[in-house]
Structure 1
Amino acid sequence: MTQNFHTQVLDITTGTDEVVVDLTATCEAFLRERADGRDGLLNVFVPHATAGLAVLETGAGSDDDLLAALRQLLPADDRWLHRHGSPGHGRDHVLPALVPPHATLPVVGGRLVLGTWQSVCLVDTNGDNPHRQVRLSFLG
């Protein structure tokens, strides 16, 4: 079996508020163009020190619950040693240790395999950087 590697970089504007951005439809569109019905792996990577990726349910409050939990775990106050940027910005640099900057997902028959309620989401708590990139890579 011949394996192919395809990659694409997405430019996403997240704004200045904490946000969970659902990337599922974009990932599926990428696979329709690139997977050609093959099995393989989709890697999603955020090349930023202050953002991460999560696979979770969206639209039923779980995305807001995640942001609320992150606010409790990583408050935007002056406790952080990393102090450049807006007040509390040091917490944004700790985020990727809890919400990793990557996810590798199965692709079967050219389609992303997720659970019924799962979505692929960009998690961004850093209001100092409203522009993000996400790299999609398919190996199959």
Structure 2
Amino acid sequence: MADTFASRTIDVTTGDRETVHDLTAACADFLAEVARSQCGLLNLFTPHATAGLAVIETGAGSDDDLLTALGSLLPADDRWRHRHGSPGHGRDHVLPAIVPPHATLPVIDGTLALGTWQSVTLVDTNRDNPRRQVRLTFLGC
């Protein structure tokens, strides 16, 4: 089968509070359209200086635990030199060093090869920017 390349940007509304937004269904929909039964890689990238992508269990408390851990590691207080925006916003600019803005995942027979409890998520602690974008790129072989 010939190599396949497809790319699309999706818009995500994260609101005005910290969130872990599940992207798994959007990834599956994209792959169903472009990958069909191919194998390859799905790359995700969010072009924001204050958001990241994580593979984590959702819905059982782990997503809230991640936000709690990030709050402990990166408190929203006045210690940050980067000071525009809401109080503690400087920590949002440190987030991508810990939760990177990219992820590359295997695709087998047109489906994400995730573990049983794994989900693909956008992690956003920036309450000042409620709209995000994530670029999905499939490279099949």
Q: Which TM-score band applies after superposition, normalised by the shorter structure? A: over 0.9
Deviation, 1:36, is 1.9
What are the ranges of 5 or more consecutive residues in structure 2 without an aligned counterpart?
none
* Residue type of the alignment partner of 1:73: L
Please give the residue correspondences for 1:1-140 in structure 2 after superposition, counting only pairs within 5 Å: 1-140=1-140
Other structure's SS at 2:136 match: strand
Runs of 4+ in 1 over 6 A off after TM superposition: none
Deviation, 1:4, is 1.4
Deviation, 1:2, is 2.1
Aligned residues: 140
Deviation, 1:21, is 0.4
* Residue type of the alignment partner of 1:86: S
TM-score when normalising by structure 2: 0.98
C-alpha distance in 2, partners of 1:129/1:58?
22
Q: CA RMSD in A?
A: 0.6
Deviation, 1:3, is 1.0
What are the ranges of 5 or more consecutive residues in structure 1 without an aligned counterpart?
none
C-alpha distance in 2, partners of 1:36/1:71?
40
* Residue type of the alignment partner of 1:77: D
Q: Percent identity of the aligned residues?
A: 73
TM-score when normalising by structure 1: 0.98
Deviation, 1:129, is 0.4
* Residue type of the alignment partner of 1:79: R
